[in-house]
Structure 1
Amino acid sequence: MWTLTTDKQWSALAARFPEISDMAGVRQDPRHHAEGDVAIHTQMVLASLIAQSDYQALAADDQELLWTAALLHDVEKRSTTVVEPDGSITSRGHARRGERITRKLLYVGERIVALPFPEREQVCKLVRYHGLPLWIFEKPDPLKTLLQVSLEVDTQWLTMLARADVQGRICADQADLLYRIDLFEEFCRENKCWGQPRQFVSDTARFHYFSHDEGQPDYEPFTESGSAVVLLSGLPGSGKDTFIARNLADWPVVSLDNYRRKLKISPTDQQGTSRVVQLAKEDAKAMLRSQTSFVWNATNLTRQLRQQLIDLFTTYKARVRLVYLEAPYQQLIRQNRNREYAVPETVLHRMIERLEVPAIWEAHQVDYLPSERMR
């Protein structure tokens, strides 16, 4: 069984992980967290989680994953906490940044055994969405938000974590917050995504729903003819070129690296990179207009970057297959070093920290290919 650590005493955790020791002294607004700093709150959350009967009913492997998410759910309050001009204390963006730091910790595994991809991503998404059950009905489209999140994280586990988060604090509105979580659970049950991803009639229907503001979850759109585009995503050294050679050797490839080398433009040259992307898009448009299928080969590490490309491709009625490739960390380092154009490891680590793993709803088809599944 994977475990973050066998010694779960707080003093041992703080001694082993800087991410944990940093929680001490991180202030919280006493109106919402009268118990004290983030370290005190996190310990109370862990105690609350372990006491839940639903948690005790989980398999030991699942308990470890949920416990790890609870331990790390506020890890990036250390970097986001500010005292506002009115004296209130906020930590906006701590969950989003917490997801990325959790992924780096569990992937790089400098002090732990690295966690396999599916389990790691479940922990990361629990950290990312731990506050959602409290605020989902304040979202512009609560239903779409719920169904989207259900495709990324187990909503039952998310609810358990949210309850522990509320029970592990001292605040005047605790009863109201727990009631909001009850409503979130009922919302999940009503929409057939309690403890399971929401099912769609097809991949095309799923993509249409999440890419159209007025989409309906049970609508089956007409399939339009166009190119097939394979959009790759992955860190340098993750095996993108190998994937193409093994699976799509006869497809045209739009490669940003090839344009850079041809034009002798450094990846750090922002103005030059803009020119590279523009040239690549012009070549892609020519193939889209002629309905020629092709591969777009680049790292595509952020959702915003991928979305821009997918919007371009689907404007021409293309069907997009998004393929995320990943190698175990030590293998990634070796493969990057062996590349003809290796990325400096300091840069590679920054890329790991800002990596946003593609979500299943980003394209018509999304495939996750850790290296062991590529063989």
Structure 2
Amino acid sequence: MLTYDALRQAVPAPNGQIAWGSLLPMLPDVAALSVVPQDPVFHAEGNVLIHTQMVCEALVTLKPYQEADADRRFVLFYAALLHDIAKWSCTITDEHGRIRSPGHSKRGAVDTRILLWRAGVPFTLRERICRIILQHQTPFFAIKGSRSGDSAEFIVRKLSWEVNLLELAAVAEADILGRVCDDNADVLVNIELFRELAMEEGCFESPRAFPDPHTRLTYFRTSGGIAPDYPFHQEPGSLVTVLAGLPASGKNTWVDKYGGGLPVISFDDAREELGLKHGTSAGAAVHLAVDRAKELLRKKASFIWNATNISHLMRTKCLDLLLAYGAEVTIVYLESPEHTIKQRNNKRDTTLTNAAIDKMLHRWEVPLESEAHDVRYQA
């Protein structure tokens, strides 16, 4: 069984040797990357495992790794080691015969979250790793802006609320040094420009400053459509706490302890009221819950939204509704170990099975600080 202690002991010293002989048997999903091919145009070094090993070997020689404390070395090393872990499931050969791995960063962040959660890695360290993996390619092109038209400044400002940019840039640099490709020099320049821009914005190692949470959230949600350095007026609205977390992670207990008697919007309650089981006629329960939320929002009344909200897509639908009515939103994310969740679920009066919870893990995206006025973690 993979453990945090074993992972910690395997982290190499700066400029140290990586114990591949013991590390790969401990992480079979990484070892399996030896059979996953890569496009020789961008990865002439060979398969994904060869690339991964080259990335890690490059990382331990870099200044950010050499100057890091033990926690940061843990984060940087496992972000590098696991950054392409999802290529085994995402790699395809397209109609032109080119090898691609669409979506491997997003899938890799989720796969890593599950792996490290089960290993008992502390929440903060785990999420730092997952966030780097999610964005590990962004420094390659951010300085040129995004395909959707976002400026480099916007990308850096928002990203600084989601990931430590020093750590992200270090892994991105190692990623390029660990491949054989004609454009390596150009990409390394882009990464250095990304660093310089983050430093200019004052957000290389901490989130970019904003006048207040509402200005920050509005700036992010409008893709930089307002001035980031001047307060953006906020009309009074409902104060809404949105709970998020896997089933049986403690959301109902949180309501009982901290809810203060506020109204609670819950899909589970709506489903129970309608006499529905999990996975059947979910639309009717959602419709009922949303109608009740809208009624409270029109009254500018405070309430709690109690749902799993484990995927970014589902939270976005919820937040879009709340913010359209001018609500001020706090996300409270709760988490428990897997064995605790499944023991609790077995004892609950519910039609949701532990097998169904296992399937939900593959949509598990922990809320980011950029998503709401305030995001709090209880894990």
TM-score, with normalisation over the residues of structure 1?
Answer: 0.93
For the pair 1:358 / 2:361, whether they are aligned, the reply is no
Equivalent residues of 2:71, 2:125 under 8 A apart: no
Q: Which moved more, 1:24-33 or 1:311-320?
A: 311-320
For the pair 1:117 / 2:128, whether they are aligned, the reply is no
Match of 1:293 in 2: 302
Match of 2:176 in 1: 166
Match of 1:322 in 2: 331
For the pair 1:4 / 2:7, whether they are aligned, the reply is yes
Give, as a single letter, the amino acid of the residue that structure 2 aligns with 1:74. D
Percent identical residues? 38
Per-residue Cα deviation, 1:279-299 (whole angstroms, up to 9, x for no partner): 111111111112221111111
Match of 1:248 in 2: 259
Task: Find the residue that maps to 1:171 and give its secondary structure.
Answer: coil
Equivalent residues of 1:69, 1:123 under 8 A apart: yes
Match of 2:139 in 1: 133
Task: Find the residue that maps to 2:38 and give its secondary structure.
Answer: coil
Q: CA deviation at 1:14?
A: 2.5
Q: CA deviation at 1:65?
A: 1.5
Superposition map of 1:135-214 within 5 A: 135-136=141-142, 137-139=144-146, 140-141=149-150, 142-213=152-223, 214=225
Equivalent residues of 2:239, 2:327 under 8 A apart: yes
User: Given the superposition, is the C-alpha separation of residues 292 and 125 from structure 1 closer, same or farther in structure 2, using an over 3 Å criterion?
Assistant: same
* Unpaired runs of at least 5, structure 1: 371-375
Give, as a single letter, the amino acid of the residue that structure 1 aligns with 2:251. K
Task: Find the residue that maps to 1:320 and give its secondary structure.
Answer: strand
Distance in 1 (alpha carbons) for counterparts of 2:222 and 2:315 = 16
For the pair 1:23 / 2:36, whether they are aligned, the reply is no
- When the two chains are superposed, the root-mean-square deviation of aligned CA atoms in Å is 1.6
Task: Find the residue that maps to 2:228 and give its secondary structure.
Answer: coil
Give, as a single letter, the amino acid of the residue that structure 2 aligns with 1:14. L
Task: Find the residue that maps to 2:9 and give its secondary structure.
Answer: coil
User: Given the superposition, is the C-alpha separation of residues 264 and 24 from structure 1 closer, same or farther in structure 2, using an over 3 Å criterion?
Assistant: same
Distance in 2 (alpha carbons) for counterparts of 1:297 and 1:53 = 45
How many residue pairs match? The answer is 364
User: Structure 1: which 4+ aligned runs deviate by more than 6 Å?
Assistant: none
Q: CA deviation at 1:211?
A: 1.7
Q: CA deviation at 1:5?
A: 5.2
Per-residue Cα deviation, 1:251-293 (whole angstroms, up to 9, x for no partner): 1111111111121212212xx1111111111111111112221
* Unpaired runs of at least 5, structure 2: 11-17
Distance in 1 (alpha carbons) for counterparts of 2:128 and 2:310 = 18
Task: Find the residue that maps to 1:321 and give its secondary structure.
Answer: strand
Give, as a single letter, the amino acid of the residue that structure 1 aligns with 2:308. T
Equivalent residues of 1:240, 1:297 under 8 A apart: yes
TM-score, with normalisation over the residues of structure 2?
Answer: 0.92
Give, as a single letter, the amino acid of the residue that structure 2 aligns with 1:255. S
Per-residue Cα deviation, 1:29-48 (whole angstroms, up to 9, x for no partner): 11111110001011111110
Match of 1:95 in 2: 105
Equivalent residues of 2:278, 2:351 under 8 A apart: no
For the pair 1:348 / 2:362, whether they are aligned, the reply is no
Q: For 1:233, which of 244, 248, 256 is the aligned residue?
A: 244
Equivalent residues of 2:145, 2:155 under 8 A apart: no
Q: For 1:222, which of 203, 225, 233 is the aligned residue?
A: 233
Q: CA deviation at 1:2?
A: 5.2
For the pair 1:62 / 2:72, whether they are aligned, the reply is yes
Task: Find the residue that maps to 1:266 and give its secondary structure.
Answer: coil
Equivalent residues of 1:2, 1:61 under 8 A apart: no
Equivalent residues of 1:336, 1:342 under 8 A apart: no
